[in-house]
Homo-oligomer: A and B are copies of this chain.
Amino acid sequence: MSDPIRVVLVDDHRMFRSGVKAELGDAVAVVGEAPDVDSAIKVVREVQPDVVLLDVHLPGGNGNGGSDVVTGCAGVQTPGGDPVRFLALSVSDAAEDVIAVIRAGARGYVTKTISPGDLDTAIRRVAEGDAVFSPRLAGFVLDAFGATAGEIAEVDEELDRLSQREREVMRLIARGYQYKEVAKELFISVKTVETHVSSVLRKLQLSSRHELTSWAMSRRLL
């Protein structure tokens, strides 16, 4: 297995990161760690690892599928070099979490109950370009993707009409964040948040944040 695989760990619990490192030992080289989305992006840019092992529920992410987490990282690929692969590591085995993550570009999804040996294997396979899923998840992952013939598409047409940024704003608003808080969270101005919210409400044909909350809940986006 030539050189050890270079891995970046992203998880907001330092304890957990430490545990993964301890359990994996020399099997892989942990070349970076990050507790949140922003520093994750930075670290991944710097060290260009083979695999990013990341928790789905992160501060800065919305804890809700983590698509922005992964897509945020996805922009980080070096055109010339080897691609950076993402392996999601989550406590959740909910279908929507898994599908959102895969949709966002991750190559695998395993739960935190995985044994160190299996995790090692999963990391290697992802590094080689394979897709890896915990056995319990494999079934409905295949269902979801088989059913939609190629692209994910179709799943939620209304949601698809929103841009990435609009979706991020939408999720926070639906959760009860104030504009000011959303602005701080996303590092943009309150005015920009207003603009995005207006677009979201218009595109979804809703008229208030309360309806947005119901809408989001009915689609299990929260």
Contacts from A to B (Cβ < 8 Å): 12-23, 91, 112-113, 115-116, 119, 176, 208, 210-211, 213-214
Contacts and interface: CB of A to CB of B under 8 A. Distances in A.
Number of copies: 2
A211 B175 CA distance: 10
B213 A15 contact: no
Closest 10 CB pairs of A and B: A19-B19, A176-B210, A15-B19, A18-B19, A18-B22, A13-B112, A22-B22, A16-B19, A15-B20, A18-B23
Given A22-B22, A91-B91, A112 B16 contact: yes
Nearest to A210: B176
27 contacts: A12-B113, A13-B91, A13-B112, A14-B19, A14-B23, A14-B115, A15-B16, A15-B19, A15-B20, A15-B23, A15-B112, A15-B116, A16-B16, A16-B19, A17-B19, A18-B19, A19-B19, A19-B20, A19-B21, A19-B22, A21-B22, A22-B22, A176-B208, A176-B210, A176-B211, A176-B213, A176-B214
